[in-house]
């Protein structure tokens, strides 16, 4: 998201003011920490040299950022060797293709509102200096695509970067959630950020049957720095270390997929279905860490102290809880492991689904956000997080960190950034081509934009409320035996050690508007139903967890109905 590479400068030694919250040992774990006991604001880090195992980023990399600027990029898509066209890669999945769309050659130039400009990056280039491809996961299926431009070696660096990620953020009505997040991260200790830049993209498609004669306006994008070796180097981190991007990673061992590169059965594609490899392929530290995370004979605090930096881990959790980034439970984060170190650090990635975006989606798709996705329960499926949370002292530290980080994510600072972005975001979202791709009512823009300033405080309250609720569970597989069906589910957990009971229900309607089997206040985690009691055809079952104070929770399981509504905490089964 940003740029300006300061590589080559020798880092100067400097002292960081690190604060420790002064909190009485008798403080109730679930009381909100008094603001006076939180850490004082840390002075700006300008040194990339490590101090102990702290994560220190060279903040000078952001010195030339201009939050209120828009860079114009002009991309000419060429038709050289490829048989594909720019149209075909944009409609790759619409046309029934599978796998990743191909890349096309392109010329990238920087310029002004009226075209490429002499003296700007890439001006006058006549041969390909990059490749272009569509990027993202779910965003590949929306009408307005996001793009990745990978620069050729001969092109040099664009603002210190070799990859230009252009994110459209079609599902972000405000168009600023991503940039707001990473601009704020620059001021958070024990954390890294990414360089970002608003970009207006102009494309000349020479692969069309009738090639474009002029550049076509594709509207506003956010350029986001790619975490890779170049990123590590530019930010004063170790480019020789390991860097992994979580795809579907709950800190399980995944022995069939996660193997050493020297293992004869090592399959990089299988490995990267769990963790994408962005750095070294020496996975020894990763596998040792996962072995210990999943070894319940080892104290989780010993595991944290050996393999993680506690401040960085707590900061990452607190940031996600306050911003409401529910999409970080098993994906959308990086793990960084420096060379000659056992330590792993959480680095942020992708925040366009944070800042209340899920509430906007709920207005379009009922049930889009499940109850368990709000607050601490969102992370309960991860073995690392679950084990960590089960120690009351760790919960106390997390509440302290939430209070500390909320001081950086304060309304005044958020508003300062939003005021800078507003002329850009409001002008682009209200005109073509951005206006045509908005999946929300444009009348809601002002409300959504202005509400961003309130999101951290709202999510802090949700966090405290979630600590009072039982934790979610998984519903088990149904076992048929001797004319009966046994339903099982995981036991839940309560931070206050309240007594828990389970309400079991069976219905033939997915919304449970009509329940024909129900057992309330069960203390066990199984239920046996005879064949005769169950109705033929499709059935649904669920378990509702209750504590002694009346707080409730549901299962992780969910189904999407034919009405495009998500039904949470539900599984289906069929009786012949």
pLDDT tens, residue by residue, 500-523: 999 999 999 999 999 999 999 999
At 11 the pLDDT is 36
Gap between the Cα atoms of 547 and 39, Å rounded: 34
Handedness of CA 385, 390, 394, 395 (dihedral sign): positive
Question: Which range (26-35, 103-112, 117-126, 250-259) has the least confidence?
Answer: 26-35
Confidence class for position 28, pLDDT limits 50, 70, 90: very low
What percentage of the chain has pLDDT greater than the value 70? 89
Report the distance separating Cα 18 and Cα 34, nearest Å. 19
Q: What is the domain partition of the chain in residue ranges?
A: 479-575
The residue written with tokens 């608003």 in the block is 198
- pTM score of the predicted model: 0.88
* 5: three-class secondary structure by DSSP: coil
Ramachandran sector of residue 289 (left: φ over 0; alpha: ψ -120 to 50; beta: rest): alpha
pLDDT at res. 399: 98
Q: Is the distance from CB of 517 to CB of 505 less than 8 angstroms?
A: yes
Q: Looking at residues 262-285, what average pLDDT do you find?
A: 96
pLDDT (average), residues 552-557 = 98
pLDDT of residue 440: 84
Q: Give the Å distances, CA to CA, from 421 to 4, 129, 428.
A: 21, 31, 11
| Model confidence pLDDT, tens digit, residues 459-511 | 999 999 999 999 999 999 999 998 899 999 999 999 999 999 999 999 999 99
Q: What is the CATH number that goes with domain 479-575?
A: 2.60.40.10
Tokens for 270? 């299988």
Question: Considering the chain, what is the average pLDDT of its residues?
Answer: 89
Decide if pLDDT at 18 tops 50.
Answer: no
Contacts 24+ apart (CB under 8 A), 425-428: 425/174, 425/175, 425/176, 425/220, 425/449, 428/175, 428/200, 428/219, 428/220
CA distance linking residue 60 with residue 73, whole number of Å: 25
Evaluate if residue 29 carries a pLDDT over 50: no
CA distances from 449 to 175, 368, 514 (A): 9, 21, 40
CA distance 55 to 27: 29
CA distances (Å), origin 430, targets 294, 315, 443, 444, 449: 50, 36, 10, 12, 13
Give the pLDDT confidence of 125-155 residue by residue, as tens digits.
999 999 999 987 766 778 889 999 999 999 9
């Amino acid at each position: 998201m940003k740029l300006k590479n300061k590589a080559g400068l020798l880092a100067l030694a400097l002292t960081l003011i690190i604060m420790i919250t002064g909190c009485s040992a008798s403080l109730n774990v679930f009381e909100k920490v008094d603001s006076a006991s939180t850490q004082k604001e840390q002075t700006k880090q300008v040194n990339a040299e490590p101090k102990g195992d702290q994560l220190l980023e060279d903040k000078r990399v952001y010195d030339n950022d201009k939050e209120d600027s828009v860079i114009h990029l002009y991309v000419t898509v060429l038709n050289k060797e490829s048989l594909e066209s720019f149209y075909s890669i944009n409609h790759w999945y619409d046309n029934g293709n599978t796998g990743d769309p191909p890349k096309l050659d392109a010329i990238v130039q920087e310029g002004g509102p009226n075209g490429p400009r002499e003296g700007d990056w890439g001006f006058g280039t006549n041969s390909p200096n990059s490749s272009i491809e569509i990027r993202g996961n779910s965003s590949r299926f929306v009408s307005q695509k996001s793009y990745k431009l990978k620069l050729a070696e001969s092109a040099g660096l664009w603002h210190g970067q070799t990859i230009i990620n252009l994110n459209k953020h079609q599902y972000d009505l405000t168009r600023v959630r991503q940039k707001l997040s990473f601009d704020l991260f620059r001021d958070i200790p024990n954390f890294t950020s990414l360089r970002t830049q608003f970009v207006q993209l102009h494309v000349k498609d020479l692969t069309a049957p009738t090639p474009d004669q002029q550049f076509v306006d594709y509207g506003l994008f956010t350029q986001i720095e790619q975490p890779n070796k170049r990123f590590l180097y530019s930010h004063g981190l170790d480019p020789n270390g390991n860097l992994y991007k979580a795809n579907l990673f709950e800190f399980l061992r995944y022995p069939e997929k996660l193997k050493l590169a020297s293992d004869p059965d090592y399959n990089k594609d299988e490995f990267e279905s769990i963790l994408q490899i962005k750095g070294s392929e020496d996975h020894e530290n990763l596998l040792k860490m996962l072995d210990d995370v999943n070894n319940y004979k080892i104290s989780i605090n010993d595991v944290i102290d050996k393999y993680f930096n506690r401040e960085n881990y707590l900061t990452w959790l607190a940031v996600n809880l306050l911003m409401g980034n529910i999409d970080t439970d098993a994906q959308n984060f990086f793990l960084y492991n420096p060379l000659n170190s056992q330590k792993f650090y959480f680095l942020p990635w992708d925040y366009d689904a944070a800042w209340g975006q899920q509430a906007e989606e709920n207005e379009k798709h009922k049930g889009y956000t499940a109850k368990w996705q709000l607050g601490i329960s969102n992370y309960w499926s991860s073995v690392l997080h679950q084990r960590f949370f089960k120690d009351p002292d760790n919960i106390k530290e997390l509440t302290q960190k939430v209070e500390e980080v909320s001081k950086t994510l304060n309304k005044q600072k958020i508003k300062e950034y939003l005021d800078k972005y507003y002329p850009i975001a409001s002008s682009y979202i209200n005109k073509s081509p951005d206006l045509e791709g908005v999946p929300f009512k444009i009348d809601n823009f002002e409300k959504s934009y202005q509400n961003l300033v309130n999101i951290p405080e709202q999510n802090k309250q949700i966090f405290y409320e979630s600590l009072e609720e039982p934790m979610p569970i998984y519903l088990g597989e149904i076992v048929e035996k001797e004319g009966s069906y046994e339903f099982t589910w995981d036991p839940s957990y309560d931070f206050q050690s309240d007594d828990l009971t389970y309400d079991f229900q069976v219905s033939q309607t997915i919304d449970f508007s009509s329940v024909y089997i129900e057992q309330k206040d069960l203390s066990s985690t199984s239920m046996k139903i005879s064949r005769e009691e169950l109705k033929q055809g499709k059935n649904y079952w669920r378990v509702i967890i209750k504590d002694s104070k009346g707080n409730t929770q549901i299962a992780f399981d969910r189904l999407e109905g034919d009405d495009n509504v998500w039904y949470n905490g539900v599984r289906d089964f069929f009786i012949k």
